[in-house]
Amino acid sequence: MINLIQIELFKLFSAYRTYITFAIALLLMLVINLGLYSDGEELFGFLLQSINDYFYIEGNVVNGYLIAYLALNTLWIHIPVLIIIVTANIFSGEFELGTIRLLLTQPITRTKLLIAKIISMIIYNFCFMLVIALSAIIPSVLLFGTGDVVVFIDGIQFIQESTFLSRFFNAIIFATMAMIAFSSITMYFALYFKNTLTAILLSLGILIIMTLLQTFVIGIFSSWQPYLFTFHIAKWQLLFVNEVPYKSILNSVYYLMAMSIFFIAISIFKFNRMNISE
Amino acid sequence: MYILKVENLALDYGKQKILNNISFAFKKGQIIGLLGPNGAGKSSIIKILAGLVFPKSGKLSFNKLPKKSFSELREYCGFLIDSPAFYPFLTAKQNLYLVNKINKANADLDELLQKVGLSQVDKKKVKHFSTGMKQRLAVAQSILRNPEVLILDEPFNGLDPNGFQDLINLLKDLNEKGTTIIVSSHLLNELEQFADTFILLHKGIIALDISKSELLKSKKKVAFTFESEPSIEVTEFLNTMDVVFKNPVLAVLQLNPNEIATVVNKLVAMESTPINVETLTILQEKYLEITK
């Protein structure tokens, strides 16, 4: 199995597409940092105007930690999009190239092959989120320094400087789990349709529709909210409230894990019964 | 002794019957040619043997041992599936390295590349390869593990005459060393050059299963074309033979291989030398019949 995982990782990291997603992630973080470096003071001055009437704020509010927190908001759409593209290609790319025939005519079982691919997908997710984490925190701290953070989640939250890094990296771990869950959906589509573009479009469609339902919670949709995976993905934000609701976050962790296991299981089932006739 | 035996193999794609309860067996150490026009079912048989496609029914035994599923064959067989595919962003050697690693084999990749005539381009990315080069690389990956049985689907596609001859020499060499080889092709002439047994498929059934020795012994259709209508003496002589078809200047006879020379000599002696003599084996005859 380790052999197969090594092969999958070798293929993954030999493809320039993988590095493009890393480069885009770095660029994304750089743009956020540069944008806030040039206009940040003005923007935050405007945002803090309303609370300045009630609070006396001392020190550097626009600091690297706040920027790193804001950068995490790319978790809504930008990061999933990049992850979808690579994940879809890990699975359906083999069908499109025809290399699935090469792999499946070797003395390995389909289940082992798929598990090796899933593990390499998980490793990619970890690497990608690590790049996101480091590129979010290092340049922002270097450019803006550190300090306490004021964020708006269910009201104003004041995060002490000393607790920020642990909250930030917990959020990254949570987000990685969320991205793995989302990748599992993409994997299923990629195997079902054997086509990268279809898998990407369907995954994006689900992401966009669920985000919209999540954003415009109206009428009957409000009761559906806990069943939307975007509802659970968003729980990373709760790691930045003063009293972290760990129970609620843990429930979402269970939800995302169950979702990953479900899609991995049906993907293995499907893959083992699939005719590779083309 | 049969190395691979398949009984009652059936495959449907929806309502379309691809293979219709066919049975066949391959003798150890032979080169077997799977023949048939496009759509006859050759590639489907190979995909089933490779475990890529699941048949509706079919029993398999390998070296007399029954096997639960066709995918078990992958342990013993090397495959080249029609239109071989590789990772285009990797070099020829890297592609082979992957197959080597999957199999935990210890093949000498440089030697292997030399064997298939790709040693000069081992560091070239496969995306820059021609069809013929890809075909050679596919052969290299299929023989990497020194399999007991080598199963090749249309291996001559895209090969130039030199490549074709090189591949035939390589297959003959492997066969001499004991590898059983199954080759599918829609081109009869290619297979006739080196196969020991021929299985002709048509619309999912076996139209003919014949060994080369049987083929050599079997009667052939011989067409004699004359410049003008032969004399009565010649016509009478021809009528004593097994005549299949006859018109004033053409006579098609069914003859044993050793009779052909005798008949020609007799015709020459009767001063009715045919301007053209064409022979058709039973395999060629059947093949022409189904590809009409």
Is residue A38's pLDDT more than 80?
no
Contact criterion met (CB < 8 Å) for A7 and B102: yes
Output the CA–CA distances (angstroms, integers) from residue B58 to B5, B14, B49, B229, in the order listed.
Answer: 10, 18, 11, 55
Mean pLDDT: which of A168-172, B36-40, B268-272, B276-280 is highest?
A168-172
| Residue B69 CB coordination number (10 Å) | 11
**Measuring CA to CA, which residue among A272, A249, A273, A253 is closest to residue A261?**
A253
**Structure confidence at residue B156 (pLDDT):** 85
Max mean pLDDT range (A145-154, B171-180, B282-291): B171-180
Q: What is the pLDDT of residues A188-213, one digit of tens each?
A: 999 999 889 999 999 999 888 888 87
Average pLDDT over chain B, rounded to whole? 86
Q: Does position A278 have pLDDT exceeding 80, yes or no?
A: no
Count up the domains in chain A and report the number: 1
Residue A220 pLDDT grade (very low, low, confident, very high; cuts 50, 70, 90): low
Q: List phi, psi (to 5°) of B20.
A: -115, 80
Assign B32 a pLDDT band (cuts: 50, 70, 90).
very high
**Which range, of A35-44, B27-36, B97-106, averages the lowest pLDDT?**
A35-44
pLDDT band at A43 (very low <50, low <70, confident <90, very high): low
* pLDDT tier at B180, thresholds 50, 70, 90: very high
| Pair A247, A255: CB distance under 8 Å | no
The pLDDT of residue B213: 83
Average of per-residue pLDDT across A14-38: 83
Give the pLDDT of residue A1: 82
Residue that wins the pLDDT comparison between B152 and A233: B152
CB contact under 8 A, A107 and B75: yes
Would you call B102 and A16 a contact, using CB atoms and an 8 Å cutoff?
Answer: no
Mean pLDDT of A148-153: 79
Question: Contact B195/B183 with Cβ under 8 angstroms?
Answer: yes
Token pair 């479900």 in the structure block, residue: A262
Q: Are B272 and B212 in contact (CB under 8 A)?
A: no
Please indicate whether residue B25 or residue A225 has the higher confidence score (pLDDT). Answer: B25
pLDDT (0 to 100) of residue A205: 92
Q: Is the pLDDT of residue A111 over 90?
A: yes
Best B48, B81, B141 residue to mutate vs chain A (most A CBs within 10 Å): B81
Of B51, B52, B98, the CB nearest to A7: B98
Looking at CA atoms only, how far is residue A106 from chain B in angstroms? 6
- The model's confidence at residue B55, banded by pLDDT at 50, 70 and 90, is very high
Cβ-Cβ contacts under 8 Å, B79 against chain A = 105
Q: What is the pLDDT of residue A41?
A: 67
Average pLDDT for B210-218 = 83
| Structure confidence at residue A52 as a pLDDT band (50, 70, 90) | low
> How far B292 CA lies from chain A's nearest CA (Å)?
27
Judged by a CB distance cut-off of 8 A, whether residue A35 touches chain B is no
Predicted confidence at residue B276, as pLDDT, reads 85
Per-residue pLDDT at A119: 94
Q: Is A28 part of a structural domain of the chain?
A: yes
Tell me the shortest Cα–Cα distance from A5 to chain B, in angstroms. Answer: 10
The predicted model gives A45-53 an average pLDDT of: 63
pLDDT of residue A199: 92
pLDDT value, residue B151: 94
Whether A3 contacts chain B with CB within 8 A: yes
A122 lies in a domain? yes
Does the beta-carbon distance from A277 to B13 stay under 8 Å? yes
User: Looking at the predicted structure, is the pLDDT value of residue A257 above 90?
Assistant: yes
- pLDDT at position A116 is 94
Regarding an ipTM greater than 0.90, the answer is no
Whether residue A278 lies inside any domain: the answer is no
Confidence of residue A61 (pLDDT cuts 50, 70, 90): low
A47 located within any domain: yes
Higher per-residue confidence, A218 vs A129: A129
What is the C-alpha to C-alpha distance for residues A164 and B151, in angstroms, rounded to an integer? 61
CB contact under 8 A, A106 and B54: no
Smallest CA–CA separation between A205 and chain B, in Å?
A: 30
**Site from B87, B99, B148, B152 to mutate, A interface, most A CB atoms within 10 angstroms:** B87
pLDDT at B75 (0 to 100): 87
Residue of A nearest to B98 (CA): A7
B102/A273 touch (CB, cutoff 8 Å), yes or no: no
DSSP A167-229: HHHHHHHHHHHHHHHHHHHHHHHHHHH--HHHHHHHHHHHHHHHHHHHHS--TTHHHHGGG-H
Residue in A4, A11, A101 nearest the CB of B81? A101
Which residue out of A10, A103, A105 would a mutagenesis test of the B interface target, given it has the greatest number of B Cβ atoms within 10 Å? A105
- CA distance to partner chain B, nearest, from residue A99 (Å): 5
Q: Is A194:A95 a contact under the CB 8 Å cutoff? A: yes
- Across residues B163-170, what is the average pLDDT? 83
Q: Higher model confidence: residue A250 or residue B221? A: A250
Q: What's the pLDDT band for B258 if we cut at 50, 70, 90?
A: confident
Flag whether A40 is in a domain: yes
Question: Would you call A277 and B88 a contact, using CB atoms and an 8 Å cutoff?
Answer: no
Residue A57 has pLDDT above 90, yes or no: no
- Strand extents, DSSP E, chain A: 149-152, 156-159
Nearest to A65 by CA among A172, A131, A151, A127: A151
Is B23 within 8 Å of B6 (Cβ atoms)? Answer: yes
Indicate whether A60 belongs to any domain.
yes
Distance CA B225, CA A248 (A): 93
Among the partner-chain residues A16, A99, A106, the one whose CB lies closest to the CB of B87 is A99
Helix, strand, or coil (residue B11): strand
Which residue in the set B81, B87, B94 is minimally distant from A97, CB to CB? Answer: B87
Tell me whether residue A238 is in a domain: yes
Is A219 contained in some domain?
yes
- Above 90 in pLDDT, residue A184? yes
Q: Which pLDDT score, from 0 to 100, does residue A227 have?
A: 79
* Contact state of A101 with B104 under an 8 Å Cβ cutoff: no
Is A98 touching B (CB cutoff 8 A)?
yes
- Whose tokens are 């771990």? That residue is A173
In angstroms, rounded to a whole number, what is the distance separating the alpha carbons of residues A151 and B131?
A: 60
Residue of B nearest to A104 (CA): B52
Minimal C-alpha gap between A97 and chain B (Å): 6
SS3 B81: coil
Domain that holds residue A197: 2-273
